[in-house]
Amino acid sequence: MLISVALTSGGLLLWPVLAGGARAGSVTPAEAVQLINREKAVVIDVGEPNEFAAGHVMGARNLPFGQLEDKLAGLVKNKTTPVIMVCPVGARAARAAGLARKLGFEQARSVAGGLRAWRDASLPVEKA
């Protein structure tokens, strides 16, 4: 019984570390705002043009996920610039951030929860 309690408590202590590793490439909407304001991060919406037109983060540039590999270097010249990927729910943005890191953009991140989380945080959204 004592061993199972020790193992359970050890697992619970390790959980935040392991969960944080899965979230390492994402930021909350508040963290994204800080990156935009303090480090001049570039916001890229990886949704399709119709999704972008329906609503996007203010100042974001639209680059659909399918075109990311070919056009990202042309859109963001300096690979050390923080890049924040956004999509409606965050799944494509997370994949896009991973792809951007593979392309050499070390500070590529995605907004956890996507545009939905951005709106839930009462942050500004504009329509095209």
Which CATH number goes with the domain that contains 116?
Answer: 3.40.250.10
Contact 84, 110 (CB under 8 A): yes
87 noted as active-site residue:
yes
* Biggest CA-to-CA distance, the chain: 61
User: Which residue among the candidates 87, 108, 111, 115 is catalytic per the annotation?
Assistant: 87
Does some domain include residue 5? no
The confidence score (pLDDT) of residue 83 equals: 97
Q: How far apart are CA 48 and CA 80, in angstroms?
A: 26
Does some domain include residue 18? no
Structure tokens at 103: 């392309």
Tens digit of pLDDT per residue, the chain (128 long)? Answer: 878 777 777 666 655 545 444 445 899 999 999 999 999 999 999 999 999 999 999 999 999 999 999 999 999 999 999 999 999 999 999 999 999 999 999 999 999 999 999 999 999 999 97
Q: How far apart are CA 32 and CA 83, in angstroms?
A: 10
Contact 61, 42 (CB under 8 A): yes
The confidence score (pLDDT) of residue 125 equals: 95
pTM recorded for the entire structure: 0.80
Domain count, the chain: 1
Domain containing residue 44: 25-126
The confidence score (pLDDT) of residue 24 equals: 59
The confidence score (pLDDT) of residue 22 equals: 43
* Amino acid letter for position 118: W
The confidence score (pLDDT) of residue 14 equals: 57
Checking DSSP bridges between strand 42-45 and strand 108-111, what pairing results, if any? unpaired
Does some domain include residue 38? yes
Contact 91, 120 (CB under 8 A): no
The confidence score (pLDDT) of residue 15 equals: 56
Contact 97, 82 (CB under 8 A): no
Does some domain include residue 8? no
Contact 118, 36 (CB under 8 A): no
Q: Which residues contact 50 (CB under 8 A, 6 or more apart)?
A: none
